[in-house]
Amino acid sequence: MLRYTVKRLLQLVVALLGLSLLLFAWFKSLPGGPENRMLPDNATDQQREALREALGLDEPVWTQYGEFLGRAVRLDFGNSLSSGRPISTELADRLPATIELSLWAIAIAIGVGIPLGYLAARKRGTWLDFTAVSGSLIGICTPVFFLAAMLKVVFSQNLGWLPTAFRLTPGTDYTDVTGLRVLDGLITGEFDVAWNAAMHLILPAIALASIPLAVITRITRASVLEVLGEDYVRTADAKGLKAQTIRGRHVMKNAMLPVVTVIGLLLGSLFAGAVLTESVFSFGGVGSFVYAATTERDYPALMGFILVIAVSYVALNLIVDLSYGFLDPRVRVRS
């Protein structure tokens, strides 16, 4: 298991190096360099040249890449072209909101999707199965921004059950510990803050959860159906074991293997969805920051964001891979 972990960690480093190279090359190839963004339109060629020199853009490409890499390792992505503040600070301010939202969304997706997928498989061919399958199809097909807007219109504006925007009712006092507001409220004992934050999370979390929920439901259903037909489930049945033992130990443990893999992959799309959901609900996470950076050609901010997201994505997948090794003894040995 240790060797497996070390090997996966080394693979992670290689993956990140490759990604940084790709990212760097991509940004280099974009038209309209940063100097055009930073200078007014009527700047002279000499002024542009001077700025390029000051930014180190006249250096050989490899030197630039080395410089970029060296600073990226120290989490120094430079200053945002829009706000002038360090990008790492900007991201650090906003990441907790996105993390909190994503955690809620994935919790909803897993908590509802796996039981639903299991039931659909067990009750195959019934109305429940039909509802789960067609519901998940709708879930996959509905664009996140559309669902987010519809939820907002129906549940906050028309019915008035839930808040329309932000992470807390404006003007609420709260103590910052982890940046995850619900958790903070629970830690400090400010339960009204936790409740308030939770209410603000429900709609965006549901919107963000829709696609992962649909995918998890379908994968679980397919996987459970496959495992139910396996010989070892019949063996378990032939042993006269209780239904719950068969379900937990012999069906779900095996059926979870593909689901875990898919959850790892879904986490990546979760960040993409967060950008849209956050802008609909003015949630103040990295999503809205990136949205602004994209429209304003804030290259350093975008690079910093993509790197941070990439690192967390790769790290999350490492965790998924390790848990996979934990779930399936055959993976451990093969490595």
Q: Considering only the stretches 154-162, 230-238, 262-270, 273-281, report the one whose residues sit in contact with another protein under the rule CB under 8 A.
A: 230-238
Alpha helices (H) in the chain, listed in sequence order: 2-29, 34-38, 45-54, 61-73, 87-122, 127-141, 144-151, 181-188, 191-228, 231-238, 243-245, 253-280, 286-295, 299-327, 329-334
| Cα→Cα distances 246→33, 234, 260, 271, Å | 61, 9, 20, 36
Give the nearer residue to another protein in terms of CB position, either 71 or 234.
Answer: 234
Can you say whether the dihedral through the CA atoms of 68, 275, 108, 116 is positive or negative? negative
Stretch that binds another protein, among 60-68, 216-224, 246-254, 265-273 (CB under 8 A): 246-254
Instruction: State the virtual CA torsion across 285, 287, 292, 296 in degrees, nearest 10.
Output: 130
Does the footprint of another protein cover residue 240 (CB under 8 A)? yes
Nearest to 306 by CA among 8, 6, 21: 21
**Which residue from 126, 192, 237, 294 is in contact with another protein, where contact means CB under 8 A?**
237
Which of 2, 14, 159, 333: binder of another protein (CB under 8 A)? 333
Binding test (CB under 8 A) with another protein, winner from 11, 13, 234, 319: 234
- Decide if residue 235 touches another protein (CB under 8 A): yes
Query: Of 21, 150, 239, 282, which one interacts with another protein (CB under 8 A)?
Result: 239
The Cα–Cα gap between 154 and 25 comes to 45
Nearer to another protein, 222 or 314 (CB): 222
Identified binder of another protein from the candidate list 202, 230, 260, 312, rule CB under 8 A: 230
- The answer to whether residue 253 forms part of the interface with another protein (CB under 8 A) is yes
**Considering only residues 196, 217, 254, 277, which one is a binding residue for another protein as defined by CB under 8 A?**
254
**Which of residues 28, 30, 232, 319 is near another protein by CB under 8 A?**
232
**70 backbone dihedrals φ, ψ, rounded to 5°:** -60, -40
* Interface positions with another protein (CB under 8 A): 230-232, 234-243, 245, 249-250, 253-254, 257, 327-330, 333
